[in-house]
Amino acid sequence: MSERETEEQQHLLPSHAADISSPPPAFRTFWLSKGGTVSTPYLFLAFVSGILVCLLPQYVFSGSSCPSSMSSADDSAHVLAPPYVGSTEVHNWPPPSPTNDLPTLFPTNVGHAGVTPTGAEPALVLTAPSYPIHTGAAQLVLPPALHAGGKSNKGFDLFKKWGNLSPWYSVKRGTFGVNSDPGIRQTLGLPLAVLTPFGRQQLFDLGISIRLKYGFLLQNFTDALPVFRTESQDRMLASALNFAAGFWGIPYEDKYLQSITIEAGNFNNTLAPYMTCPNAGVSGKADRGTPFLKEWTSVYLKETRDRLQGHIDGYALTIEDVYTMQQMCAYETVAIGFSKFCGLFTEEEWEGFNYGYTSAFGAPLARAQGIGYIQELVARLTHTPIQTHNSSTNSTLDDSHITFPLDHNLYVDATHEVVVLNIITALNLSSFAANGPLPTDHIPKQRSFRVSELAPFSTNVQFQLLSCPSRESEQIRIIVNDAVAPLTGIEGCPEDADGMCPVATFVAAQKKIIASTDWAWACHGDWEVPAGHEWNTTTGDVPVSQ
């Protein structure tokens, strides 16, 4: 077991029977790292199965203009797909004789699964005060308005009017005449470090959603199979396969090629860059988020601690305990369906929680850790192999046109949500960055960085390539969790109502970023982040060498 995995297991150890009236001694180890300092990024990494789905589809529009991102009159996402092709078309998958179907290059068992202890089975029926509500069909689109002939009803839900063709939804309690609900009877242990049933569903749903959006791109794979990448860690592999099950349906094994890169110490891997970046280790050097989080939690949870302490005898709650309880609310809910911790906190305290995570633009290693992926992105965009392997890239994999093709029009990569944040930072999507260091005594009114928008479960980033008659050159657009991201922080990219930037401009800027990012110094250099405000980064860069 690597040191990182040991650390990870330590963070995740006993959390079962976590009853607020008598926290067991092991409760605190969930929160504190070895040195006694807070280690949030790793804590999150240890459990959340984030995924990055990167697509490089090429759309060609026959209409006169590129699709706009439409102004949103409501809360729903408006990212337009190309015109529908027609329902008489037939497309058989997979292609009859793909030239890249070479099983030895895509082993299914590469080891290095990391820690995989599991906890108790969930028992929602016993632990929750009510059943969860299933509302239906997140992936499907309804018309903005129905035929205006009749009276319209505000609560009208077309999905519920389709009889036996209606998507499944929870029927309201009491509908059939019985009004009972299960009550809370016990507390369960959490599954540790493995993908949870809910996590499975999020990835499966994402697979379906991406297939509905981009399935048409498969028509161009006439003599090759698409290559999807993920890492060997158990829950990442499980995430990728659940995505595949949603995207392809089962059986999915013969429908595509799954590259499983090794996530372990000393293996170059752009999807797990910290594994070859000693300074990103658990020493705390990279952990710029730590002082921020410590200062911020001591502000927003001060009164909360006093309030909760009023209910407890014989144990002195720390701010860290209270923060852990907030985390437990989310962890327990996604792992076993319900958590008693959630009800302990006010809305304002949840706003505080959602502000307390900084591992992107404020982290000194963010850019360096994201740069390998940027090199791969540029290779795909320019159909040119990576020239110099001087970051987290792996030449064995990246120099092979079988394991790292450069001429496909659909690529899917899965990685941890912290790596997604690293990549967003390295891309210079600085419209998400703060103008200066984030204040630790209040939440600023104007802010663009919200972790739940950029790095939730199944977080997904889509890189779209577009050609259309109304624009002279090929365009690129980046979509983060269904919203178009502004590219204006990237050198040369114009202000654009639809968030597009000419590919050539985008590539030139990314090459400049690659040339000015020094992986060796960032990952191996002897730099220090001084305490307090002596040094600030809002660009994910390390202090320069003196």
Positions in the binding site for ligand NAG (CB under 6 A): 58, 60, 217, 220, 261-262, 267-268, 387-391, 393-397, 409, 428, 430, 436-437, 489-491, 509, 512-515, 518-519, 533-536, 539
- Taking the CA atoms of residue 416, residue 281, residue 528 and residue 435 in that order, the dihedral angle to the nearest 10 degrees is 10
> Residue 278 has which token pair?
């000693």
* Nearer Cβ to ligand NAG (177/532): 532
* Nearer Cβ to ligand NAG (3/19): 3
Q: How far is the CB of 270 from ligand NAG (least distance, A)?
A: 10
Q: How far is the CB of 410 from ligand NAG (least distance, A)?
A: 8
Q: Please tell me the number of Cα atoms within 13 Å of 543 on its side-chain side.
A: 16
Residues in contact with 408: Cβ distance below 8 Å, sequence separation at least 6, in sequence order: 56, 221, 224, 226, 227
Cα separation, 363 vs 358, whole angstroms? 7
Q: How far is the CB of 510 from ligand NAG (least distance, A)?
A: 7
Mapped onto helix, strand or coil, the DSSP state of residue 501 is strand
* Nearer Cβ to ligand NAG (127/391): 391
Q: How far is the CB of 391 from ligand NAG (least distance, A)?
A: 5
| 357 contacts 44 by C-beta, under 8 angstroms | yes
Residues in contact with 483: Cβ distance below 8 Å, sequence separation at least 6, in sequence order: 77, 79, 453
Q: How far is the CB of 529 from ligand NAG (least distance, A)?
A: 11
> Residue 320 has which token pair?
């860290």
Cα separation, 480 vs 130, whole angstroms? 33
* Nearer Cβ to ligand NAG (128/275): 275
* Nearer Cβ to ligand NAG (31/432): 432
Q: How far is the CB of 241 from ligand NAG (least distance, A)?
A: 18
Q: How far is the CB of 271 from ligand NAG (least distance, A)?
A: 11
> Residue 240 has which token pair?
């990728």
Q: How far is the CB of 266 from ligand NAG (least distance, A)?
A: 6
Residue type present at position 160: K
* Nearer Cβ to ligand NAG (154/383): 383
Q: How far is the CB of 439 from ligand NAG (least distance, A)?
A: 8
Mapped onto helix, strand or coil, the DSSP state of residue 476 is strand
Cα separation, 55 vs 209, whole angstroms? 13
* Nearer Cβ to ligand NAG (2/536): 536
Q: How far is the CB of 398 from ligand NAG (least distance, A)?
A: 7
* Nearer Cβ to ligand NAG (262/377): 262
Do you know the residue count of the chain?
A: 546
What is the separation, in whole angstroms, between the first and last Cα of the chain?
37
* Nearer Cβ to ligand NAG (99/220): 220
Phi-psi region of 193 (alpha: psi -120 to 50; beta: other; left: phi over 0): left
- Taking the CA atoms of residue 303, residue 341, residue 200 and residue 136 in that order, the dihedral angle to the nearest 10 degrees is -100
Question: Residue 391: how many CB atoms within 10 A of its CB?
Answer: 28
Q: How far is the CB of 415 from ligand NAG (least distance, A)?
A: 15
* Nearer Cβ to ligand NAG (337/362): 362
Cα separation, 282 vs 298, whole angstroms? 23
> Residue 148 has which token pair?
């205006």
Q: How far is the CB of 236 from ligand NAG (least distance, A)?
A: 14
* Nearer Cβ to ligand NAG (287/321): 287
Mapped onto helix, strand or coil, the DSSP state of residue 461 is strand
Question: Residue 40: how many CB atoms within 10 A of its CB?
Answer: 23
> Residue 447 has which token pair?
């802010």
* Nearer Cβ to ligand NAG (189/492): 492
Cα separation, 162 vs 175, whole angstroms? 18
Mapped onto helix, strand or coil, the DSSP state of residue 232 is coil
Q: Please list the alpha-helical segments (H only) found in 383-500.
A: 395-398, 417-426, 451-454
